Structure 1
């Protein structure tokens, strides 16, 4: 079976890579940090926090489904909330186990089309969702990193690199805004610019014979991005505000899982919660550029480093495992079950 352009065999490979990288990383982290106190501490994890964590995970699923529902209504399509929730879970599953979440869009478009929605409308709904998420990371990522760079450098203990990092972050911020402005108001220049980037000798050396294929695919996605933005901007302000609010709320809920895990082990975050959320966002933003499905391996290492500011060493690996299970593997598991259900009722 093909799910859009993503085959089951491709998904199977992605799932295998994800599991292997995560298991190797977590084994390494447990080997270097676990002690007899680690296993005793698990039994002291606050039971009420387990309930809170499950609420956060389920809330993230519901908010994301509500976001897609609002997008569909904005584009004059009526889809049942339960159908959207199921399709979203499948999209999260296929996205979690493919590089750069590339499996999410084809799967969702395919399943929406099965409900009787035209391919054009289905693509518009899913792409609009991706556009808002991309804008959140494209603008929010560099902006947050730059605005709170001093706090981040202090937390990471690399103040001595401030000049270099400040310059890099400022360049990234300017580049993000420039790219966005060019894409919206001068789409032709945006495509020309991307062609020049892919024609650079360094880029061709890195990508090899795949350079042309990658360039064509990127230009195609860029065109969809532009088309979707124009569609969104033609609609009323209220739905756009609602979609933006739900996008931000979805990520706040997701980022809140890490502080909740720390709370379960009795850590009083207090006024440091904003700092924790910011650092977590920075890690996820940077990991999004890694082509390994789910950023497996790198994500665990990043959160391990982040938790080391708040937890004793013997609790680090187990905290990362709990966080990763709730924020990634539970969603992937439930989404996988829905995927199998659709597969059997093709």
Structure 2
């Protein structure tokens, strides 16, 4: 993770440069006319999102953590979000979350199970939301040649959820299968146990099943908080476009953000820098023009990327800073 943080300045430069190069001075003029009140509203939505995620985390913990108040949970969420934005592919996020939960008395396997349960609710929401967008597109008779924008994410999310379900459902079969493969490689029993990493998933699987067996009303509330978080966060681009005096359906801004964030994973830079800006700009330009598209992308990324880094950095350093410093010191000794 410390090594990944050195990529952050490069990512910040790239993330800002691409929209400015595409939009030019016209984008800067659009930024100057953007209403301050609209920007404050968008930043306020992010603060609400942090609190919704903190409450979701506390519900998933179900009293298993020591002294995790709402304010402490918000700190954990902000530090985790900072780590996600500051590392390639968000790889630092799970590590930060598990480390902070361990400090509050949560075992690593249970912390991993809570993280996966949290991700499952996210995937379920996105799949349901995309199906809703697809129905909307059919009702509104939107051009069919744009159908791939909705169909492809639905297919990928559906396959991902199905694969995860199959792995959890047939863990015993996977264990037998992996053991057979390792036996054919003529490895001794000790090495087979060492290389059969999937066997370590047993305790994690038990913890995940225990988490998913929480009372139904708790799980429903967790999913409702998940929906509230993503609906607010994915309204930021729509509000940015609206503040610029342009008009695009909320459903399309939702799809554009999903595709842009997915493309950002291919850039291998913190926050998906480069891929996110190129994809979102390319999809917005035919709808609102290059100047407004570039300005909208800059505002959207400021609220959902730069703001996370600016506000989350002090919280991250306060909660995790000593650990990072120790890792850096070990590397130089």
Decide: shared fold, TM above 0.5: yes
Mapped contact 2:263–2:275 kept (Cα < 8 A): no
Shift of 1:78: 4.8
Residues 340 and 30 of structure 1: is their aligned pair in 2 closer, same or farther, counting only changes over 3 Å? same
Identify the residue that residue 32 of structure 1 maps to in structure 2: 22
Identify the residue that residue 292 of structure 2 maps to in structure 1: 315
Shift of 1:71: 1.5
2:40 to 51, 61, 79: 51
Residues 188 and 126 of structure 1: is their aligned pair in 2 closer, same or farther, counting only changes over 3 Å? closer
2:274 to 272, 276, 297: 297
Residues 99 and 341 of structure 1: is their aligned pair in 2 closer, same or farther, counting only changes over 3 Å? same
Residues 99 and 146 of structure 1: is their aligned pair in 2 closer, same or farther, counting only changes over 3 Å? farther
Shift of 1:315: 2.5
Partner of 1:335, secondary structure, is helix
Q: Which moved more, 1:54-63 or 1:291-300?
A: 291-300
Shift of 1:147: 7.2
- Please say if 1:274 is aligned against 2:269: no
Identify the residue that residue 255 of structure 1 maps to in structure 2: 234
Output the CA distance in 2 between the equivalents of 1:59 and 1:345.
28
Mapped contact 2:22–2:290 kept (Cα < 8 A): no
Identify the residue that residue 329 of structure 1 maps to in structure 2: 306
Shift of 1:118: 4.3
Output the CA distance in 2 between the equivalents of 1:136 and 1:277.
14
Output the CA distance in 1 between the equivalents of 2:258 and 2:20.
24
Output the CA distance in 1 between the equivalents of 2:180 and 2:258.
31
Output the CA distance in 1 between the equivalents of 2:231 and 2:200.
27
1:1-346 matches, cutoff 5 A: 10-11=1-2, 13-35=3-25, 37-73=26-62, 75=64, 78-115=67-104, 117-120=105-108, 123-125=109-111, 127-137=113-123, 140-141=126-127, 144=130, 148=134, 151=137, 159=145, 172=156, 175-190=159-174, 219=198, 226-269=205-248, 272-288=249-265, 291-342=268-319
Unaligned runs of 5+ in 2: 182-194, 324-333
Unaligned runs of 5+ in 1: 1-9, 198-214
Identify the residue that residue 327 of structure 2 maps to in structure 1: none
Partner of 2:89, secondary structure, is helix
Number of residues of Structure 1 aligned to a counterpart in Structure 2 = 308
Residues 28 and 103 of structure 1: is their aligned pair in 2 closer, same or farther, counting only changes over 3 Å? closer
User: How large is the Cα RMSD of the aligned pairs?
Assistant: 3.8
